[in-house]
Each structure stands twice: as C-alpha cells, then as structure tokens.
C-alpha cells in the first residue's frame, strides 16, 4: 500500500499496464515529454521511450482515430483528451467507429482503446474546462463509461479499462485529483496523502467495470452518485444527520442495477446527484430504472440534484455547482414527503 493522489494512482495504472504489456501505448496532447497538463503521464516517456508514450498534434479526432487504427493492428492504446470539454471533435470517431467496430465487422476488428479525460468543474475552468459530458457517451451502444471517485478505484478501474476488449470512456473528476472535495469550496481540502482513502495497493490489481460500491450504508434514503458527487453526498449525509446509503456507481455503462435496486428497495427513498446538466442527464436514466424496478417500494418522489441547465459559468461557479446544501435540501424533502 502507498498513499497516492488520484493523479499518481492514474499514472501508476498506466505504468503497471505498460510494464505488463508491450502493446499498451499512451499518447495525447502534452502527454509525452511534459507528462500531461495534469501530470498524469509524468515520467512514462522517460521510462518506456518515445515509441510507447508521445505527444500528439492538437486534433482529438486524430488522436482517437489513430488509436482505433492502432487497435485494429493489435495494440491497446490508452489516449488522453486534455479536457472532456475537448472531446467533441472526436465524437464521430468514438460513436460511429470505436463503439461499433466489433458489431459492424462481426468481431473481425475490435477497438480495445481507453480514452481518458478530466471531467467536471470546481477549478474555475469556465465553460470549456468544466463540463461533465458523460451522458453523451452513456447513450452509445458499444461503449463503457467509467467515473472513479478515489485513488484506489481510479487505479483499479483504469487497469480494467486498459485490459477491456471494448472501448472505454474514462472520465477523471479533476476536482478530485488532489483530494476528496466535498463541495465546501470555502474550506481546505484534506489532500489524499493525509486521507485514508489515499491508500492505493501496489502493483497490479483491478476493480471490475460494471460494479458499483456502497460507500456508506444507511436505512432511510439511497443517494446514487459518482465522481466528485460521492463526496458531496457524504458531506450532505453527515450534515443532515439523515441515515443515507450512498452508492458510488464507478461505472455508468454497464450499470450495476442490482446494487441500486437492492438499496432503494431497502430504503424506499432515492436522490440522484450529478454535476452535469439536468435535462437528459444520466440522472434521468437512473430515475427511470428506479421507477421501473422499485416503484412499489418508493415512499416519496425521486429527487435529482444536478448542475443547472446552463453552460458552466466562470465567476458563478459555486452558484452552479450542486454542493452539499442543495443535496441536503433534497434529502430533507424526500424524508418529509
């Protein structure tokens, strides 16, 4: 076990996989010599050479398209898109190509690629460095979508993603890179190095894709969250004193419905939390599933706490971010209903 930041854990996962399998290559904008704008690939070029870790031109469609070609050859590329906000030029390559290659060629060609990208706000990144675009990927058949909430999961999930034979969108909540941010932006964040959740197993291990984790057991209400919102939910549960059960989804597609259903049937109440915009957000899907499977166990309407349906603002960041106060309000509402 070592204490690691989420950045170090992500880097360690790539290091472990590059050491284990020569077919793993890492590239993206600024990831080579410099080691990435968030330092996630720092040292990998030096260790594995320019053949295995290199800088790419600023062309996200090119990065993903080249990765698909490499995968068709037999490599296992793990590429970085510098910010999730920059992924849209690659959308066609992801949706029409990577996601469907196995299907359209009946398994003749496959695309075992991992596309990493920092997601979410909380760093004063404005509308082009703060978005949470997970829902534009969860609608795509053939993709897997992963969002870790702590260093140990980040490493184990990334190892699983790289080993997976299908394309994986790996979203890294950038506000969690250095510590478990709970939404209290006016208070200091405990760095991962001083937090028990900063403990990361050494060497190779994996966390399976498609398995959620109950991070807090409770009897009264189920909070479904992922990424940064897991910690926001935790703060809200503590502050309200409500006996909430928190599910960290870890993987949105495939979705671990079993864990969700078991929890909601037990608590009879449900709050869904995400940072992304409300309308057609992934929360809408979660609500539908809970309604379809747990309707007769529900004691109150399901609540959603999300970012507003506006672009992510700069100066008004904390008015936008769905912090613990908003989650607490929703918890009280479902408890009173």
Partner 1 sequence: MSEKQRLHLHVPEPEFRPGDKPDFSNVTIPKAGSVRRPDVDVSPEEIRDLAYSIIRVLNRDGNAVGPWADLLSDDELIKGLRHMMTLRAFDARMMMAQRQGKTSFYMQHLGEEAVSTAFQCALEKGDMNFPTYRQAGLLLAQDYPMVKMMNQIYSNEEDPLKGRQLPIMYSEKEYGFFSISGNLGTQYIQAVGWAMASAIKNDTKIAAGWIGDGSTAESDFHAALVFASTYKAPVILNVVNNQWAISTFQGIAKGGSGTFAARGHGFGIPALRVDGNDYLAVYAVAKWAAERARLNLGPTMIEYVTYRAGGHSTSDDPAAYRPKEESDAWPLGDPIERLKLHLISKGVWSEERDLQTQAEIKDTVLAAQKEAESHGTLHSGGSPSAREMFEDVYKEMPPHLRRQRQEAGI
> Which long-range contacts (C-beta less than 8 Å, at least 24 apart) are formed by 184-189?
184/235, 184/323, 184/324, 185/122, 185/317, 185/318, 185/321, 185/323
Q: Which stretch binds partner 1 (CB under 8 A): 98-106, 225-233, 294-302, 327-335?
A: 98-106
Among residues 129, 184, 195, 297, the one annotated as catalytic is: 129
**For partner 1, the closer CB: 16 or 75:** 75
Answer for which of 47, 103, 219, 288 binds partner 1 (CB under 8 A) is 103
Half-sphere exposure of 45 (CA within 13 A, CB side): 18
- Structure tokens that stand for 292 in this block: 């379809």
Answer for which of 110, 119, 160, 328 binds partner 1 (CB under 8 A) is 110
Q: 135-162 burial string, b = 16+ CB within 10 Å, else e?
A: bbbbebebbbbbbbbbbbbbbbbbbbbb
Answer for which of 39, 42, 166, 326 binds partner 1 (CB under 8 A) is 166
- Residue 257 binds partner 1 (CB under 8 A): yes
- Residue 96 binds partner 1 (CB under 8 A): yes
Least distance in angstroms from the C-beta of 128 to partner 1: 19
**For partner 1, the closer CB: 3 or 213:** 213
- Residue 250 binds partner 1 (CB under 8 A): no
Least distance in angstroms from the C-beta of 135 to partner 1: 16
- Residue 75 binds partner 1 (CB under 8 A): yes
Note whether 35 and 44 are within 8 A (CB).
yes
Q: Give the other-Cβ count within 10 Å of 11's Cβ.
A: 25
Answer for which of 47, 109, 128, 219 binds partner 1 (CB under 8 A) is 109
- Residue 254 binds partner 1 (CB under 8 A): yes
243 burial level (CB within 10 Å; 0-12, 13-18, 19+): middle
Site string for partner 1, 32-51 (x = CB under 8 A): -------------------x
Q: Strand 76-80's sheet: what is its strand order? A: 53-55, 24-28, 76-80, 114-119, 168-173, 144-146, 251-253
- Residue 261 binds partner 1 (CB under 8 A): no
Least distance in angstroms from the C-beta of 233 to partner 1: 24
**For partner 1, the closer CB: 59 or 187:** 59
**For partner 1, the closer CB: 216 or 289:** 289
* Contact residues for 120 (Cβ-Cβ < 8 A; gap 6+): 84, 130, 131, 132, 171, 173, 174, 175, 227, 228, 275
Note whether 273 and 246 are within 8 A (CB).
no
Does residue 129 carry a catalytic annotation? yes
Least distance in angstroms from the C-beta of 321 to partner 1: 31
Write the Ramachandran bin of 74: left for phi over 0, alpha for psi from -120 to 50, otherwise beta. Answer: left
- Residue 119 binds partner 1 (CB under 8 A): no
Containing 170, the helix (H) or strand (E) segment is strand 168-173
Q: Which residues are catalytic?
A: 129
Residues of this chain that interact with partner 1 (CB under 8 A) are: 25, 51-52, 56-57, 59, 61-62, 65-70, 72-75, 89, 92-93, 96-97, 101-110, 141-142, 144, 165-166, 210, 254-255, 257
């Amino acid at each position: 076990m070592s204490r690691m930041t989420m950045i170090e854990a992500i880097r360690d996962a790539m290091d472990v996989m590059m050491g284990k399998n020569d077919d793993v290559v890492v590239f993206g904008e600024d990831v080579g010599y410099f080691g990435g704008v968030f330092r996630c690939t720092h040292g990998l070029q030096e260790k594995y050479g320019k053949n295995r870790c290199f800088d790419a031109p600023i062309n996200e469609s090119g990065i993903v398209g080249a990765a698909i070609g490499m995968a068709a050859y037999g490599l296992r590329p793990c590429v970085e898109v510098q910010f999730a906000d920059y992924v849209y030029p690659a959308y066609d390559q992801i949706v029409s190509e990577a996601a469907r290659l196995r299907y359209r060629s009946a398994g003749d060609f496959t695309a075992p690629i991992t596309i990493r990208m920092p997601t979410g706000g909380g760093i004063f990144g404005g509308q082009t460095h703060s978005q949470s675009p997970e829902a534009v990927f969860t609608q795509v058949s053939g993709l897997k979508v992963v969002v870790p909430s702590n260093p140990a999961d980040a490493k184990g999930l990334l190892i699983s993603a790289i080993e997976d034979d299908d394309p994986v969108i790996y979203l890294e909540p950038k506000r969690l890179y250095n510590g478990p941010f709970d939404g209290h932006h006016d208070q200091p964040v405990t760095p991962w190095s001083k937090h028990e959740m900063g403990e990361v197993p050494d060497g190779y291990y994996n966390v399976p894709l498609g398995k959620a984790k109950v991070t807090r057991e409770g009897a009264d209400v189920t909070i479904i969250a992922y990424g940064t919102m897991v910690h926001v939910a935790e703060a809200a549960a503590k502050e309200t004193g409500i006996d909430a059960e928190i599910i960290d989804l870890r993987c949105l597609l495939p979705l671990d419905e079993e864990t969700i259903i078991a929890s909601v049937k037990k608590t009879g109440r449900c709050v869904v939390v995400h940072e992304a915009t409300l309308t057609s957000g992934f929360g809408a899907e979660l609500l539908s599933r809970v309604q379809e499977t747990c309707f007769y166990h529900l004691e109150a309407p399901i609540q959603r706490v999300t970012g507003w349906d506006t672009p992510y603002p700069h100066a008004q960041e904390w008015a936008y971010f769905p912090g613990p106060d908003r989650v607490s309000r929703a918890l009280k509402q479902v408890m009173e209903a």
